[in-house]
Amino acid sequence: MSSSTTKSVFWKGAREGAPFIVVAAPFAMLFGLVATEAGLNVAEVMGFSVLVIAGAAQFAALHLMQENAPTIVVLATALAVNLRMAMYSASLTPHLGEAGLWQRALVAYFNVDQSYAMAMIEYEKNPKRPVADKVTYFLGVVAPVAATWYAFTLAGALLGSRIPGDIGLDFALPITFLALVGPMLKTLPHVLAAGTSVAVALLFASLPYGSGLLLAGFAAMAVGAEAERRLS
C-alpha cells in the first residue's frame, strides 16, 4: 500500500465526515457553555471533551454533578448512556478485528455515533477493502468531527455567550442521524429491523439511562437476523 493511497482514503473519509461539523459545533459549544456556567474551569471542561468524547454522556454527567449526585450514580448513569457503543464495537470487529492493537485502540477512542455509522455504510459497500484502508477511512471520517468537538467545546467555555434561540438548531443532530438511516435500508430485513428499533425505542422511551434503546437494539437485531435467515 503506497502512502498516496492512504492519503486519498483518509481524505475521502474526511470529506464525507465534514458535514457533521455543522452538528458537532453547536453541540460542543453548548457543552462548553453549560459546563462553565455549572462551575467547571476550562481545563476540566476540556478534560471531559478530550478524555470522554461522548456528548450525551457528558451532558448526563454534568447534569447529575450539578445536582450533587453521588459519584457512583454520576459514573453509572453516564456509562449506561454509552453502552450502545459496546454494540458498535462488536459490529466493527468483523471489519477491523485484524488491525493491530494500537489501531484498534485508536478506533475505539474515536468510536462515536457519526464515525461508526459512516464507516459501517462504507464497509458494507466495499467489504473487500484491506483492513488498513478501513482503519484509515474511519480515522478520516472522525478527524473533522473530533477537531470540531474539541475546538468548539473550548470556544463555548471561553466565550460563555448565549447560542441564538429557536432557529431549529436543536434538530441538526436528528437530521444527520436520519440521513444516515436512509442508505442503511438496503433490504427488507433492514427495513424490518429499523421499524422494530423505532417501535421498541418509543415504547420504552421512559425507561431510565437509555436502557430502552438497548432493548430496541437487541429486538431489532433479532428481527433483522431472523428475517434474513427466513428469506434466504
Partner 1 sequence: MNFTAGHIWLIIALLGIGTFLIRFSFLGLIGNRKMPPWVLRHLRYTPVALIPGLVAPLVLWPTATGGQPDASRLAAAAVTIIVGWYTKNIIAAVLAGAATLAFAFWIT
Determine phi and psi for 67, rounding to 5 degrees: -90, 10
Determine phi and psi for 38, rounding to 5 degrees: -75, -10
Distances from the Cα of 211 to the Cαs of 7, 80, 232, in angstroms?
A: 40, 8, 32
C-alpha–C-alpha distance, residues 213 and 209, integer Å: 9
Q: Which parts of 14-53 interact with partner 1 (CB under 8 A)?
A: 16, 19, 22, 38-40, 44, 47-48, 51-53
Residue type, 96: L
Tell me which of 3, 71, 164, 230 binds partner 1, using CB under 8 A: 71
Tell me which of 163, 198, 207, 231 binds partner 1, using CB under 8 A: 198
Distances from the Cα of 11 to the Cαs of 22, 121, 137, 143, 164, in angstroms?
A: 18, 17, 8, 10, 33
Q: Which parts of 143-162 interact with partner 1 (CB under 8 A)?
A: none
Site stretch for partner 1 (CB under 8 A), options 3-11, 24-32, 146-154, 174-182: 174-182
Q: How far is CA 83 from the centre of its chain?
A: 12
Q: Is 126 in the site for partner 1 (CB under 8 A)?
A: no
* Closest CB to partner 1 among residues 162, 229: 229
C-alpha–C-alpha distance, residues 111 and 38, integer Å: 27
* Closest CB to partner 1 among residues 3, 67: 67
What's the N-to-C CA distance of the chain in angstroms? 37
| In the complex, least distance from residue 8 CB atom to partner 1, rounded to whole angstroms | 19
Q: Which parts of 80-109 interact with partner 1 (CB under 8 A)?
A: 82-94, 96-98, 101, 104-105, 107-109
Site stretch for partner 1 (CB under 8 A), options 24-32, 143-151, 154-162, 211-219: 211-219
Q: Is 127 in the site for partner 1 (CB under 8 A)?
A: no
